Structures are given as C-alpha cells and as structure tokens.
Chains A and B, each alone.
Chain A
C-alpha cells in the first residue's frame, strides 16, 4: 500500500493553492485597502480633481495613469509577497507547509498569481477612472501596452518583497517596506512627475528601481524622458536577480534554524 506521489494532481494543488491564497488576501482589509484603494484615490485627487492647465508639456491625467499604476503594482507586489511571507514564516506556518507534501514552488506560484490578479484589478480600476473622470483618450493598442508593462512590474518587486520577508522579522516587515517604498516612490517621480523634482533627486532617481519601472510605463505612452529602454530593463533585471539571490540565501538559512 505504498502511495505514489504521482497519483495526486499537481495541477489541482497549484490551482487550489492560488485560489485560497487569493481568498486569504481578499479577506484581509490591511492588504486590500492600501493596495487597491490608495492608487485610485491618489489618482482621483492629483490626476483628476486638482486643477491643472492643459498647456503644459503633457496631460497630467494621462501621465499619472502610468506612474500611479506603477506605484500601485509595486505596492501590491511588495506587500503581497513581503508581508505575507514574513508573517507566515515568523508564525511557524511556513514550517508546517515545508513539512507537508506541498510542492515548495506551489506556495510561491500561488502568491505570484494572487498579486498578478490584484494588479489587474487595481489597473483596471485606474484605467476606468482615467477614461471616464480623467478624460484620457488613448488608442486601444496603447492601453494594452501600458497594461502589459505595468503587469510585468510585479516580478521585480515581488522578488524584492520576498528578500525583505526573509531578512526582516514578521513584525518589522511592514515598517521596513514602507520606509523603503514611500520615499523611493516619491524620488522616482511616481507621485509628482520627475521633471518637476529638484536636480539632486533626478540624479538619485537613476539608482531607484521604481524610477526605471515608471519610465518603462511612461514609455508605453510616449511620455518618458527618452532614455534607452535597455537601461531600464537591465537595471530591473539586475535588481530582480539580486533580490532573488538574497531571498534564496534567507530560505536556505531557515533550514538550519527554527522559528516559532
């Protein structure tokens, strides 16, 4: 009566893991409100309600669609991975999962699928606001390429969130992520266009991952600063690789140590 691991359905495990990860997050106001509501409210306040002349170099409602979208996806990913993994690791739940026959990758795949879905929901809401209240008119292909660029941003920030989860404690992960994400979002021109920021910040921005990410999103609208996309992509790829390496070292370190 020896059970064959093959006789369970891997597809079903991945699907259920993702389904319940999504439900789990959806029932967590501390995650849903900041990740879905904040970008939309900010966009309404600064992109739509605030009066601004249309004679400027670009339409602010269109511009902020890209940068608030990038800000939103970044938050969904950082907090979805960072706080989720840090908490479950700190409370011993990760230990249970590791002792169970769950394929280890299913855990991370479920979290990735969940932040992708949250990103899509948030971005759709933002696009809807932009097209209605913001009066943004773009060719269909441009909407799609902005959506695609924004969605790809889940990968580097999920990786960084994972690294933070393995190196910050369960109680400090939220604080650490806020301390990192808020100033770097500002310094990268996610809230106020980079052109309006002081020169020193413009220089620092070149070293901030959110800057390269928002420039790629703006590029989909033709509103970037004209730097070569390879620069942004290369920077984000290196950032992702470094984050994953740190997360991997942390994961291995857990095996020699106990928590909870």
Chain B
C-alpha cells in the first residue's frame, strides 16, 4: 500500500494513446494522449463538452475508441483484473431509489477482493447518519456522496472521479477534497475531471487541460495557473492589432467591433505600454478572465500555431 514505486512499476496505471472518439459526425476526442502514473493525482480540466467524460469512459472501457487505444493497468480496460483495481464515480442521474445507502455500499463492496470496512467508507463519504435511508429519499448533495462512497468502497488503486463536486456546497466540497488528499497520500492514483481551476489546483499533481477533444496544455497547477491566470483588457485604440498582440505579457488580442480586446498575464504592464504608445486610448476596462475565457485564448493560440505550421 505504501508503495515507493521502483522504476518498473512506474508504468502508467491509465493511459490514452492517440485516442479518437467520434459519435456520428461529432468528434468528442480528436486524438488525445495522456497518462496517469502510480500515486499521481491528475485533473482533466476543461469546459463543458471538451471531451473529459468521453476520456474517462474510454479508460473505463465503457465506450470503444474509434481509433487509438485506452489502457488500464497495462491491459484492456474491460478486463476483470483492471476493474477490481478501479473505482469510479460517474455522472449518474439516478441510482435505484428503493435500496438503502448501506445496501448500495454492501453490494458494490462485494465486487472487490479487499473492500474497505463499511464503517470506514460511510465515515469518509459522510454517510454515517443516513445509512438506513432509501436512496430515493436523499438530497442532491447526499446522493453525490453516496456515489463517492461507491467509488471508494473497494479500496481501489485508481479512482476515477467524473465531475465529483458538481452540485456540492463549499463545505461538502472541502470535505471531499480532504478525503481525496488522504487517498493520494496512501499512494492511490486519481483521475478527476473538473471545470473548476480551483479544484484542480487544490487536488492535482498535474493538470491536463483539454478543449475540443485535444490536449491544450499540460503541467503542474502552478504552470497551468501561470498560463491561464490573467486579465482581460478592453479599450478603444488606434494601435494596429499586431502591435497590441506583440506587447509584453499579452497572450492574445482581437478586435471586438470598435474595441480591442486583449488577454494579458500581467495586465498592469500591458496597460502601461498601451497608454504610453497611444495617449488617445479610451474606454479602458480591465477585469479578471474566467477559466472559460482563458480556455478560449489558449485554444485560439493553439489553432493559430497549427495554421502557421
């Protein structure tokens, strides 16, 4: 359990290799590569529709890749050997409502060779008080916690958590992060998907940002934050767009009607330069960019590079 991974077992516990998934005319994953190594917490970060859930489903062997490959513990994701080492929290709209919480936990625990004691699972997921309640009588947050318990109960080496904290309040989210942190310290690997940068930052050793079915960026939370964090600056200026885009710290610039919009890692320097070069500048506006916008700029610059290449 307390594994100090040697060189040999540093092989990925989960891996997508040039994986493509098409649903009819829609391409959910356009050739994606990433791996989760033993003991690592990896966050797949991306906006809705980026392909996060599809990536998880490929790795769990729930859908077949249109091209490329998904590997789990160096084998077929659908094999029993891989599945008994895996626990999953999926975006399930409903769990059978006429079973009690502890009955659900007992049943799923029975699928695993070394499940956690029920008491431990219930405590980790905060379910002690509601073990005897029927699933159908639970609130949204409680249901989410049951799904978390079902992922944990087999004491798996690898946890898949697909948007685990959607719909949870701040307190529940923190409690959840604590449990994940403990699992990671025990040497378990975790792959979680989220569209909260804050969540990825709090939990992950490594963040893989995906958008439109492709890896846009990959790195430690600090590296990703440096690329993603920034401000959006808008103004009316006579400066040519190319000049604005080339200003220090500016990552992306575009015309939005009469206005110029730019995305800057350091807004102060960019604004200073703008004003220095164009004293006539007006309608200046600086505000924080959310993750969605950060994604858009990153995706655009990726596309631009591709076109240029």
Task: Flag whether B123 is at the interface (Cβ < 8 A).
Answer: no
How close is A98's CB to chain B, nearest CB, in angstroms?
6
> How far apart are the CA atoms of A219 and B157 in the complex, in Å?
58
In B1-40, which residues have CB < 8 Å from any A CB? Answer: 1, 3, 23
> How far apart are the CA atoms of A110 and B108 in the complex, in Å?
14
A20 and B103 in contact (CB under 8 A), knowing A3-B114, A91-B94, A92-B94?
yes
In A164-204, which residues have CB < 8 Å from any B CB? Answer: none
Stretch at the interface among B85-93, B235-243, B269-277: B85-93
In B88-102, which residues have CB < 8 Å from any A CB? Answer: 88, 90-96, 98-99
> How far apart are the CA atoms of A88 and B96 in the complex, in Å?
7
- Which residues on the B side are within 8 Å of A99 (C-beta)? 60-62, 83, 86, 88, 90, 160
How many chain-A residues does the 8 Å CB contact rule pick out?
37
> How far apart are the CA atoms of A16 and B103 in the complex, in Å?
9
- Which residues on the A side are within 8 Å of B53 (C-beta)? 258
Task: Flag whether B67 is at the interface (Cβ < 8 A).
Answer: no
Interface residues on B, range: 35 or more
Task: Flag whether A132 is at the interface (Cβ < 8 A).
Answer: no
- Which residues on the B side are within 8 Å of A12 (C-beta)? 110
Task: Flag whether B175 is at the interface (Cβ < 8 A).
Answer: no
B134 pairs with A27, CB closer than 8 A: yes
B85 pairs with A8, CB closer than 8 A: no
In B106-128, which residues have CB < 8 Å from any A CB? Answer: 106-108, 110-114
How close is B31's CB to chain A, nearest CB, in angstroms?
18
B84 pairs with A8, CB closer than 8 A: yes
How close is A254's CB to chain B, nearest CB, in angstroms?
9
In A92-129, which residues have CB < 8 Å from any B CB? Answer: 92-93, 95-96, 98-103
A3 pairs with B84, CB closer than 8 A: yes
B83 pairs with A95, CB closer than 8 A: no
Task: Flag whether B64 is at the interface (Cβ < 8 A).
Answer: yes
In A226-260, which residues have CB < 8 Å from any B CB? Answer: 255-258, 260
Contact code string A1-36 (vs B, CB < 8 Å = 1, else 0): 111111111001100110010011101100000000
Which of B92, B114, B157 sits near A93, CB closer than 8 Å? B92
A96 pairs with B92, CB closer than 8 A: yes
- Which residues on the A side are within 8 Å of B92 (C-beta)? 91-93, 95-96, 260
Task: Flag whether B81 is at the interface (Cβ < 8 A).
Answer: yes
- Which residues on the B side are within 8 Å of A7 (C-beta)? 113-114
How close is A199's CB to chain B, nearest CB, in angstroms?
46
Which of A1, A6, A102, A255 sits near B111, CB closer than 8 Å? A102
A95 pairs with B84, CB closer than 8 A: no
> How far apart are the CA atoms of A145 and B282 in the complex, in Å?
94
> How far apart are the CA atoms of A27 and B133 in the complex, in Å?
13
B81 pairs with A92, CB closer than 8 A: no
A8 and B91 in contact (CB under 8 A), knowing A100-B83, A101-B80, A101-B83?
no
B62 pairs with A27, CB closer than 8 A: no
> How far apart are the CA atoms of A109 and B95 in the complex, in Å?
19
Task: Flag whether B150 is at the interface (Cβ < 8 A).
Answer: yes
- Which residues on the A side are within 8 Å of B106 (C-beta)? 16, 20
- Which residues on the B side are within 8 Å of A6 (C-beta)? 113
Write the chain A residue with the least CB distance to B90. Answer: A96
B113 pairs with A4, CB closer than 8 A: yes
- Which residues on the B side are within 8 Å of A28 (C-beta)? 98
Task: Flag whether B154 is at the interface (Cβ < 8 A).
Answer: yes
In B46-97, which residues have CB < 8 Å from any A CB? Answer: 53-54, 57, 60-64, 80-81, 83-86, 88, 90-96
Residues of A at the B interface (CB closer than 8 Å) are: 1-9, 12-13, 16-17, 20, 23-25, 27-28, 87-88, 91-93, 95-96, 98-103, 255-258, 260
Some 20 contacts from A to B, beta carbons below 8 A apart, are A1-B1, A3-B112, A3-B113, A3-B114, A4-B113, A5-B80, A8-B84, A8-B112, A16-B106, A16-B110, A27-B99, A27-B134, A87-B94, A92-B93, A93-B95, A99-B86, A100-B108, A101-B84, A257-B23, A258-B63
Known: A3-B112, A24-B98, A96-B147. 12 other contacts (CB 8 A): A5-B80, A8-B84, A13-B110, A23-B98, A25-B98, A92-B90, A93-B92, A93-B94, A96-B150, A101-B84, A255-B63, A260-B91
Residues of B at the A interface (CB closer than 8 Å) are: 1, 3, 23, 53-54, 57, 60-64, 80-81, 83-86, 88, 90-96, 98-99, 103, 106-108, 110-114, 134, 147, 150, 154, 157, 160
Q: Which 3 A-B pairs have the closest CB atoms?
A: A27-B98, A91-B94, A101-B83
